[in-house]
Amino acid sequence: MFLSSTDKSWRRGSRLIFAIVFVLLTGAFYAYVTDQGEVTLRIVTDEERQAFERRWRERMDPLRDIFIKAGRNNGVEWPLLASIAYQESQWRENAVSHSGVRGLMMLTRVTAKEVGVTDREDPGDSAAGAARYLQLLVDTAPATLADENKIWFAVAAYNGGPARLKRVFRKWRSTVSEDGAWTDFEQYTIATFKQSSTTAAAIRYTQRVRDYHVLAKKLM
């Protein structure tokens, strides 16, 4: 379907209006428009932002070089890696969940073995393994997804699993007549699936990581 420049401007404007209404209704922390014209909705509250900044000051110094090294060696931005780690463990290297995932990046035993991690509670081993895993997930992202959005597919898959996300992505693509923005896919997923579902949870997880990524880049 061909869209005139006026139509495209109208669509971008509509997304911006939707974002503003969303923030006003939900109390979300902020929203912004990316360089590609996408509206990215933010869900981190002011209280959560303050907690992130406090923990950054308290816990980042011994971890910074670990994230930098893991990110550099595996082609992942270190602030993004740090943001995932915060969402996973709040930067606690000995974190353990009831499901058995553990460590700074909360790796499962299976994932750790897949990416060559021998000690999940060693922060350097954990961060390096998570960075390698993210690159594997980027490589499995749908070919029709724009390159700059493949990393967000990888982040969602890090939480919800790549096979499940691919199935949902294919279903969404069958409902649209042109390539949509990643935020369109997020909105479709949250609107289609129950909030308690693994798929919707993976998208909310990604939204939170994106928030923390913005904050991390301001603090780095």
SS3 label, residue 33: strand
- Residue 42 CA to residue 125 CA, distance in Å, equals 31
- Nearest to residue 72, comparing CAs of 112, 118, 23, 128? 128
Active site residues: 88
Tell whether the torsion through CA atoms of 28, 32, 36 and 37 is positive or negative. Answer: positive
| Alpha helices (H) in the chain, listed in sequence order | 5-26, 46-59, 61-74, 78-89, 109-114, 123-139, 147-160, 162-173, 182-192, 198-219
What is residue 107's DSSP assignment?
A: B
SS3 label, residue 96: strand
Cβ 131 vs Cβ 66: under 8 Å: no
- Nearest to residue 80, comparing CAs of 88, 72, 71, 89? 71
